[in-house]
Amino acid sequence: MKDFQYGFVPNRHLWYFEYYTPGNTGIFMKINKPLYSAQSKYQRIDIFETDFFGRVFSLDGITMTTEKDDFFYHEMLVHVPMFMHPNPKKVLVIGGGDGGSVREVLKHKSVEKVVMCEIDQMVVEAAKKYLPVTASKLDDPRVELVYEDGSQFVRNFKNEFDVIIIDSTDPTAGEGGHLFTEDFYKACYDALTENGTLSAESEDWLYDGAWMRLAYSRIRKTFPITKLYLGFMPTYPSGMWSYTFASKGLDPLKDFAPEKVKSFQEELKYYNEEIHKAAFALPTFLKNELEQL
Ligand code: AAT
């Protein structure tokens, strides 16, 4: 892959444009080479190569992963609930077809089994072929792949998973809306074990604030502990991404054990014990907004 090229002629290239929710703003990238495009039963899937972001994976024109910053998102989504659980053995990832969340979950040695329930088998197959960095652990023997609507699948379990990670698309895209309902969050609560922890990607404040507030307030109706946290995510709308942590009792600050993170053997590039604590500090406008919900 060549470095970012200056001096290219803009109109002699393919371009990718993602339109953010209001429809009049967004992000664009020069496509070096399209690698895969298909229409599945659920959504349009594109994977292409860029100079700046490496390989990019998009669903219905919305960026899901780029090789450059996939670790920002996947580390924040996964390690917060994983480090909060005293001994996570069985984990459920809902969505996450590119494999980034599974890769992060498997960095925890206590994990015996990860079930990934992704609705679209074509996403997983394309990721295995064209996104080797992100999908690197999808063939691990501890991984079980299920191709179903996660909002239905989770209803088959009671007291089964130590951690649930909701790595879903935006509620307005494809089948993502099922993963933002109150019923679904209740089913997740029931499927979790006694010390269960959960995280959900909960969109951004700037463009998709309505969905962020909805996800947070619905999760809060179900779980005794619910806290929103933030992370940078350069290629998602606004770059300021929100996640929601929930648990049956463990508090992400009071019960946090930083030494567990300090002595972690696997490589982490974004998440660390300081980021864990800092991520729960919210700007005043956001704190006020959540208090009023
Ligand atoms: N880790 C990559 C980031 C994603 S991908 C979300 C995945 O959720 C997609 O592969 C999609 O097919 C899957 N999905 C959507 N609806 C369901 C469902 N009902 N059940 C199971 N899987 C589902 C998310 C990026 C967030 C984008 C930010 N703008």
Confidence of residue 241 (pLDDT cuts 50, 70, 90): very high
Which tokens go with 253? Answer: 């600050």
* Residue 190 designated active-site: no
What does the pLDDT read at residue 175? 73
Residue with tokens 């019923």: 183
One-letter amino acid at 103 equals R
More confident residue, 152 or 6: 152
User: 46, 167, 204, 208: which is the annotated catalytic residue?
Assistant: 167
Confidence of residue 170 (pLDDT cuts 50, 70, 90): confident
Does residue 3 form part of some domain? no
Q: At what angle do helices 205-222 and 182-191 cross, to 10 degrees?
A: 50
DSSP letter assigned to residue 284? H
Confidence of residue 8 (pLDDT cuts 50, 70, 90): low
pTM for the whole structure:
0.96
Same domain, 236 and 280: yes
Confidence of residue 177 (pLDDT cuts 50, 70, 90): confident
Same domain, 130 and 28: no
Distance CA 47, CA 34 (A): 6
CA distances from 100 to 70, 90, 186 (A): 7, 17, 25
What does the pLDDT read at residue 1? 44
Does residue 49 form part of some domain? yes
Which tokens go with 156? Answer: 């088959």
ipTM reported for the complex, 2 dp: 0.98
Residue 169 in marked binding region = yes
Task: Give the list of residues 6+ apart from residue 47 with CB closer than 8 angstroms, or none.
Answer: 34, 35, 36, 37, 55, 56, 57, 58, 126, 127, 130, 131
DSSP letter assigned to residue 265? -
Does residue 271 form part of some domain? yes
**Mutation test residue for ligand 1: of 168, 185, 232, 244, the one with most atoms within 8 Å of CB:** 168
Give the range of the structural domain holding residue 157, as residue numbers without chain letter. Answer: 70-291
Q: Label residue 272 exposed, middle or buried (CB < 10 Å: 0-12, 13-18, 19+).
A: middle
Same domain, 35 and 81: no
243 closest CA partner among 165, 163, 173: 165
CA 257–ligand 1 middle distance (angstroms): 30
Mean pLDDT of 236-245: 98
Q: Is 62 in the pocket of ligand 1 (CB under 6 A)?
A: yes
Same domain, 83 and 225: yes
DSSP per residue, 209-229: HHHHHHHHHHHHHH-SEEEEE
**Total of domains in the chain:** 2
Q: Do 184 and 151 touch, CB atoms closer than 8 A?
A: yes
Residue with tokens 């014990």: 273
**Residue 23 maps to which CATH number?**
2.30.140.10
Same domain, 162 and 181: yes
Residues 40-88: tens digit of each pLDDT? 999 999 999 999 999 999 999 999 999 999 999 999 999 999 999 999 9
Q: Is 123 in the pocket of ligand 1 (CB under 6 A)?
A: yes
First to last CA, the chain: 47
Q: Do 183 and 99 touch, CB atoms closer than 8 A?
A: no
